[in-house]
Structure 1
Amino acid sequence: MIKRPLYTEKIMTYVNTPFVKILTGVRRCGKSTILKMVMQELRQRGIDERCILHYNFDSLEYEELKTAETLFFEIKQHLSTEAKTYLFLDEIQEVKFWEKVVNSLMTDYDVDIYVTGSNSRMMSSEISTHLTGRYISFRIFPLSFAEYLVFRKTYTEVSDNHSELINYLKFGGFPAIHLQSYSQDDAYTIIRDIYNSTIFTDIVKRNQIRKVDQLERIVRFVFDNVGRTFSASSISKYLKSENRSIDNETVYSYLAKLESAYIVHRCSRYDVQGKEILKTQEKFYLADPAFRYGVLGYSSDSVVAMLENIVYLELRRRGYEVYVGKLDNMEIDFIATKQESKLYIQVTQQINSPETEQREYGRLLDIHDNYPKYVLRTDAFAGGNYEGIKTMHIAEFLLSAEY
């Protein structure tokens, strides 16, 4: 296993604390492997193997344990009577009322519990009711650019960071893609398998959706409009142009289901002057850029949007709340906030004219505060500062530890 300390070090901080550790994220982003890394770390700390219990509910081996009662009594009979038991429950959302099981175990036994799930209903009101103040949530993302480079180095020689960014853009960060060298066709076959299993298991099957074709058309619209603001009504109009009638509420419902399965991330707009979050014309970004290329195919006109997508995900990995900025009639690609810190970011593929330079830098110069401002690009440029605005290659920004 290739280590992912970005997550394991945070999780290990909470070992033996009275909190359920909940790992959530899109399917195949590495949650199960991170659980195994935590288990391995516990063994290295001297925890007896008999005190570590692991159940993976994606496996048919545990098909009979998908009710609260059967799972509770199964676990109960295997708990250690001599020491704390470390319990790992993988893809727990497959078990109905699992939160009641976890709550009972936490209340009545000496256990330390870790769970993973691929649906945001893992964080629903039911969990808050049963585990109020008793859980810590960790959001797991596909590989960052830095992690991608580590994975690549295990089986091949890597190019310079700028060249590798192009590869990362096309193939994304799902760990399964970067455990060995795959052709583009083979890589996208794996991506489509991840996409299909997520759509049909976490959305269609769980929500008993009958109009699958309607859902897939909405998915394709969202994938094709990454980085653009749009509303439910714009999707409705698009479908009507294809002789597919759908109301706005149904569109909103489908978008919420895509979010709940972590396929897409909703990015709200923030009014810089009014200092308020706006509830219209949001943007959506994908859990991984490879989804876009695996499902719709590669196109050069999508590169800027996917570069935005990569920057968005990196900011989220680092714990930022991320918004699209609105300043009068102008748009700031990202406003990222974390506690008392704030970043303003413009993302562009290249600046090849004074007009483009004015557009990208001028928007940030119109913001009159002292928070850091960045223009991120992929072309060659001279110097790293423009009237207080830092210019960086996107690859260097992704690898930087300074923000």
Structure 2
Amino acid sequence: MKQSVLEQIAFEQKEHLTISDAGLERDTLDLLPNLSSHALIISGIRRCGKSTLLHQYVKKNNQDAFYFNFEDIRLYEFQISDFIILDQVIESSGLKVLFFDEIQIIRGWELYVRQKLDQGFKVIITGSNASLLSRELGTKLTGRHITKELFPFSYSEFIEFKKLDPSEQSFYEYVETGGFPEVVKTGHHEILSFLIEDIINRDIVVRYGIKDAASVKKLFSYLLSNAAKLTTPSKLKEMIGIKSPSTILDYFSHLESCYLIHMVPKFSYSLKSQMLAPKKMYVNDTGLIKAGSVSFSEDKGRLLENIVFCELRRHGKEIYYFNENSKECDFIEMNKGQVKQIIQVCWELNHENEEREIDGLVEALDYFKQENGIIVTVNQKDLIRKGQHMIRVIPVYEYLISQKSD
């Protein structure tokens, strides 16, 4: 690489970032520490607004920064030895704050980041692959990094951007649109179809050298159509046409690393039992379900459950599902081994499902020796006393707003 080329790329990238719309101030912004001794890692699915968050971070802290996106097509030959030339470009800029976009695609990047930290630079990194980031962070940057995750707009951010009130109607609009900032802003839902194709091709098929790209796409399409359902590789292998369950497990791992899906384990004090039990699968954003599913049954209850999961996951919650004595509860939220919330989700409570939904929640409350539980519905509000348990029934739009301040 030539220094003059890197200087031109850095100039053009910085100019584009500077003139771009800073957009809605993200809730995550207040959670980003202003440290110089540790690298700040911001990871999340592509197009969820990571670069915009960096732009907001610069403004908030009144700091100018050197910005460099390693996914620029002109950098396809960039290697670890070229960091020496990049050092000269950084030195010429006179800046001590470094923003690196998708640096993890360069082999050996963690050595360079460690060096810049040792030299007194403040380093902020964004990336769209959780496993690639974590693998290197766990070796060369142990104890020298703080990681934060960014997701598409939450419901709270969505209604703030759209200038809507919390209501059943605005929730319906959120379900249909999803939270990807560009889609919310433009209304062009086809963006998500291209995004799915881009992530699967670039971040999975090419990166992991997968020859059967069609099987990955078929699997993801199936998962989109079955969000919020229990999933096991053995049941999928015939359906997808993949002979080995281990291959499906690998595909699960790749899809989760790219933040397309999230797998939730069954709660068990036995790690072996937890690993062997089926996992519940959720999608990063309901917009993806609408864009990529070929046969979603319009099960509104599962869409509702997926959104509640995403809100919990957005706050970094430790989440399990509960299944004991043939009774199920959707979410057990824990923090350092302590139960924080026990939540059941259904579109509406009615005479057909009320006993099943309440009994599943009560079974979980008894198991964890908790008094209070929550049932999230689309628009019902009530208070139910069941034995010694108090169950709060709350509309989803109120529940999602309440989580913002949690």
Q: Which residue of structure 1 aligns with residue 402 of structure 2?
A: 400
Q: What are the equivalent positions in structure 2 for 1:190-209 lying under 5 Å apart?
A: 190-209=191-210
Q: Given the superposition, is the C-alpha separation of residues 352 and 255 from structure 1 closer, same or farther in structure 2, using an over 3 Å criterion?
A: same
Q: Give unmatched runs, 5+ long, in structure 2.
A: 1-21
In structure 2, C-alpha distance between the alignment counterparts of 1:319 and 1:300, rounded to whole Å: 29
How big is each residue's C-alpha offset from its partner over 1:217-255, in whole Å with a ceiling of 9 and x where there is no partner? Answer: 11122112211112100001223xxxx342111111111
Q: What are the equivalent positions in structure 2 for 1:1-400 lying under 5 Å apart?
A: 1-11=22-32, 13=33, 15-43=34-62, 47=63, 49=64, 52-64=65-77, 66-79=78-91, 85-107=96-118, 109-153=119-163, 158=164, 161-180=167-186, 182=187, 186-187=188-189, 189-239=190-240, 244-271=241-268, 277-296=274-293, 299=296, 301-339=298-336, 340-353=338-351, 355-366=352-363, 367-368=365-366, 369-370=369-370, 372-381=372-381, 383-387=382-386, 388-400=390-402
Q: Given the superposition, is the C-alpha separation of residues 289 and 202 from structure 1 closer, same or farther in structure 2, using an over 3 Å criterion?
A: same
Which aligned runs of 4 or more in structure 1 are off by greater than 6 angstroms? 272-276
In structure 1, C-alpha distance between the alignment counterparts of 2:269 and 2:170, rounded to whole Å: 35
Q: Given the superposition, is the C-alpha separation of residues 171 and 5 from structure 1 closer, same or farther in structure 2, using an over 3 Å criterion?
A: closer
Q: Equivalent pairs: percent with the same residue? A: 26
Q: CA deviation at 1:61?
A: 5.0
Amino acid at match of 1:38: Y
Q: CA deviation at 1:31?
A: 0.8
In structure 1, C-alpha distance between the alignment counterparts of 2:296 and 2:257, rounded to whole Å: 28
Q: Given the superposition, is the C-alpha separation of residues 123 and 358 from structure 1 closer, same or farther in structure 2, using an over 3 Å criterion?
A: same
Q: Given the superposition, is the C-alpha separation of residues 104 and 273 from structure 1 closer, same or farther in structure 2, using an over 3 Å criterion?
A: closer
In structure 2, C-alpha distance between the alignment counterparts of 1:35 and 1:320, rounded to whole Å: 24
Q: CA deviation at 1:297?
A: 5.2
Q: Is the Cα–Cα contact under 8 Å of residues 66 and 93 in structure 2 kept in the other structure?
A: no
Q: Given the superposition, is the C-alpha separation of residues 104 and 136 from structure 1 closer, same or farther in structure 2, using an over 3 Å criterion?
A: same
How many residues end up aligned between the 2 structures?
A: 377
In structure 1, C-alpha distance between the alignment counterparts of 2:179 and 2:288, rounded to whole Å: 10
How big is each residue's C-alpha offset from its partner over 1:79-110, in whole Å with a ceiling of 9 and x where there is no partner? Answer: 3797x700000122232221111112122x12
In structure 1, C-alpha distance between the alignment counterparts of 2:101 and 2:171, rounded to whole Å: 32
Q: Is the Cα–Cα contact under 8 Å of residues 271 and 278 in structure 1 kept in the other structure?
A: no
Q: CA RMSD in A?
A: 2.4
3-state DSSP of counterpart to 1:229 = strand
Amino acid at match of 1:151: F
Q: Given the superposition, is the C-alpha separation of residues 380 and 129 from structure 1 closer, same or farther in structure 2, using an over 3 Å criterion?
A: closer
3-state DSSP of counterpart to 1:373 = strand
Q: Is the Cα–Cα contact under 8 Å of residues 272 and 325 in structure 1 kept in the other structure?
A: no
**TM-score, length-scaled by structure 2:** 0.86
Q: CA deviation at 1:391?
A: 0.6
Q: Give unmatched runs, 5+ long, in structure 1.
A: none
**TM-score, length-scaled by structure 1:** 0.87
How big is each residue's C-alpha offset from its partner over 1:236-282, in whole Å with a ceiling of 9 and x where there is no partner? Answer: 1223xxxx342111111111111111111111111389997343210
In structure 2, C-alpha distance between the alignment counterparts of 1:98 and 1:172, rounded to whole Å: 34
